[in-house]
Structure 1
Amino acid sequence: MNIFQEVESGVQSYARSFPKIFNKAKGVHLYDVDGEKHLDFLAGAGTLNYGHNNPVLKEALLEYISQDGVAHGLDMHTDAKARFLTEFKERILVPRKLEYVVQFTGPTGANAVEAALKIARNVTGRHNVVAFTNGFHGVTLGSLAATGNSHHRDAAGVPLNSVTHLPYDGYLGKDVDTSKLLDKMITDNSSGLDLPAAVILETVQGEGGLNVASERWLRNVEAICRKHGILLIVDDIQAGCGRTGTFFSFEKAGIKPDIVTLSKSLSGFGLPFAVTLIKPEHDQWKPGEHNGTFRGNNHAFITAAAAIRHYWSTPDFAGDIERKSEILRTELSKIADKHGKTLMQVRGRGMMRGLNCRDGDLAAAICKRAFLKGLIIETSGSESQVVKCLCPLVISEQELKEGLVILAQCVEDALADEISKAS
C-alpha cells in the first residue's frame, strides 16, 4: 500500500472504504491480491450493469483490437461508431418511438451534463436552470452548480451561478406536490425565479439517497416545461441503461425529455463513454463548439453495441431485471421491517435500492462490516445515511440473496454493537 500513500492524492475516496489491492474481476466478484473474493454490490457506482469482464463484450472487444480496429479517432467516422449508432437507433430509440441525435461528449457523465446545459442555454437564449434538492450531476463547475450536495459544492472555490434549486418530489413530504411550486414560481413575476432555459432532474436520485420521483410528478414537470418553453433534461447517467428495469428510467412515466444524458454503464464494460441525446430541433451546435480529444471512445462503441445487441434485442433482459428487483425490494423490506421505521426504511426503484438508515454512522458501520464479510457496498444521501445496493444487473438470484444475507447480518451486528457500547 505504500505506493498509494506516497504518490496518490488525498482526494481518493472509495479506496478509503475498501483498503485492498484488487487484481482480478469477473462477473459479480472482485478479487484482491491475497486471493480473497468479494461480492460487488457497488459495480463501479453503477458502471458495470453487465458485470466485470462480461464475456460477450470482452469477446467483441478482443476481436476488434486483434484486427487493429481504430482505437482513437476524435469525432471522425469509424466503423465502430457506425456499429454503435446502428444498434442504438434500431434497438433502443426506434422501438421506444424516441427521436434524438447523439452527441459524443468527453467520456464522463459530467461532460455530458455540461453539454446538455450549454445547448439548452444556447437554444433558448436564457441562462438560468432549475435543478432539485439532493440532485447530483457531476463536479465540473457547470454540472456542480446543478448539484445540491454541499460537500461537493464547497470544493468549487468560486460562486456557482445560474442555477436555482427547488424541492424534489417528496422533499416537503409525500402529500406536497412540489411541481405546483415550480409552476407557480415560473408564472409569478414576483417570485424571483428567472424563466429557466432548462429543468434538469434525475428520476431516481442515486447519489442523493435513492429518492424516487413519481410518474405523476415527472409528467407534471414535463407539462410545465412544455407550457413555458423550457427544455427538460433527464440525467440518466446512473439510473439509465437498465438500472430501473427499462433502458431509460423515464419510460414508464411516458415522458419524452428534450435532452438526455447517458454514461456509466453505456459502454457496458467499464470503458469511459458518455453521450448527450438531443431532440433534432434543438441540435443547434456549430462544429466543434463543444469538443474534446476523447469524444467518442471506439473501444467503448464496440462493447456498447455488443451489450445492446445481446441484452436489449428482446424483452427478456428487462423482465429478468424486474424479477430480481422484486427480490431485492422484498428482502430489503424484511430487514427494514424487522428493525422499525425509526431505524431504517427502504428507498429506491428497480435494481437501485437501499436502506435509508437513522444516520450516517449506522450506515457506515453496516458497510464496514459488510466489507469484512466479503461484500462491497457503499453509502449515498445527504448525510451518507443510505446503504445503496448497485449490484450488476446480470447477478444470479443465488448471488443476490447471498449478498442480502450478508447485509442483513451486518445490520444485526451494527445494531448489537451500538447496544453493547451504550451499556
Structure 2
Amino acid sequence: MKIHKLITDTKTLTELCQRLAQSEFVCVDTEFMRENTYWPELCLVQIGNEEEAAAVDPLADGIDLTPMLDLLCDNEEVLKVFHAGGQDVEIVYNLTGKTPHPIFDTQIAMMAISQSEQIGYANLVESWLGLTVDKGARFTDWARRPLTERQIEYAIGDVTHLAEIFPKILDKLVSTGRGMWLNAEMDKLADPENYRMDPDNAWRRIRQQGRNPAVLGRLKALAGWRELEAQHKNIPRGRIMRDETLADIAGHPPKKQADLAKVRGLSNAWKDNDIGKRLMKVIAGAEPLSKDEMPVKAKRGAPLGKEGALVADLLKLLLKIRAREIDIAARLLTRADEMEALAAGIRDLPILEGWRYEVFGKDALQLVEGKLAFAVKNGRLTMTHVDDMAAELNGTQEAAE
C-alpha cells in the first residue's frame, strides 16, 4: 500500500480524491479536539482504500478541503467506511450541512456477526488481523504543530487497517445473509437530523421529572438560551451551566437575580453579572410548553406486577440464549424497555417486525403466550416449544412401557 504521510496542499488532496473516487469504498477517520470548545476542532483527516492512504492536515495554511468533502458527501458511487463513526460524521456535517453517504460502520456491523456490542478499534484490529495497535498517540494534542512521525503513523494506521478489515467483515455478512439487518442502523447513522444542533430542541436531551407545561416551557427556553450562549462563546454547554442546574432552575425559578447566588452549581458572580441578567430575562419571557410540544408518553401496557416482571426476566434470559446461539449482539435485537413492553401486552413493537421477528420476536411472543419453555440439554440451557416437550415426554413414556 502506498502511504502519503501528510497532505498539506489543495493540489495533492485533489489528485488523491480523484483517484479514490474510482474506488468501491474509502475508509475515513478523524482526529479532533473538543474538550474546551462547543464545536469540535478538526485537526486531522485520514482517508484511504486498499491501495493508498493519507493523512490530510485541515489546519495547513491555504488548504481547501472541498475535494475531500465532495467525495464524502456527494459521490454516491463510493461507500464510506468508518469505525464508531458518529463523531466523525458530526464533524463532516458541521463543515457541510450534509453527512457522508452511503455509509458503513464496522462497529455496528460487528453487532450482526458477533456478540460484541461496542467493540473498540484496537480490539477489532486484534481480532481480525492479529495486530496490536499502538495506543500511545491516542490522547496527544492533535492541534499542536508540527505533528510527530509517531502521531501521523498512528493516525494513518486507523484507515490502513480498516481497509484490510472491511472486506473481511463484508464477506462474513454476505455469507451469513445478515447484511440487510444493518440497513436501518446505517441509515440512522447517516441521518442529518442526528447532528443538527437546533436550540429549540436542546431541552429534549435533559432529564426532567413531571409533565408540568410551565416547568417544561422554562426548561425549553433555558436550554435554548444555554445552547446559543455556548455556540457564541464556542465553549462546551456544561461550562455555561450543567444539566442538573438548568433543570433545577426550570423547576424552581429564582424570583430575582440576587437569588442566583443561592442556586447550587452557579457561582456567586451570577447574582450581578451580565450572563445572570440574560438568564433572568429568559426566565421572565418563558411560556408554558404547548400541547403539541409535550413529550409523547411511552407506550405502556398493563402494570407489570410481579408476574409481568417475571415474564420480562424470562424474555431477557431468552435474549441471552438466542444471542449466544446465533452469535449476535443482544442490543441489535432489542432492549430491556421493549421486552418489558412486550411482557405488559404491547404488540406494536420493532421486535415483532421484519427480520427481528423471525430471529427473536416470534419466540419471544410464544414465551409470553406460554408456548415456549426452557430446558437443560447436555448441560446447556435451551428453548423448547411446549408441544415438542410434551411429545418428547410421551415418546419416552411409551418406550418405557
Q: What range describes the TM-score normalised by the shorter chain of this pair?
A: under 0.3
Q: TM-score, structure 2 length as denominator? A: 0.21
Q: Normalized per residue, which structure has more helix?
A: 2
Q: TM-score, structure 1 length as denominator? A: 0.20
Larger radius of gyration: 2
Q: Normalized per residue, which structure has more strand?
A: 1
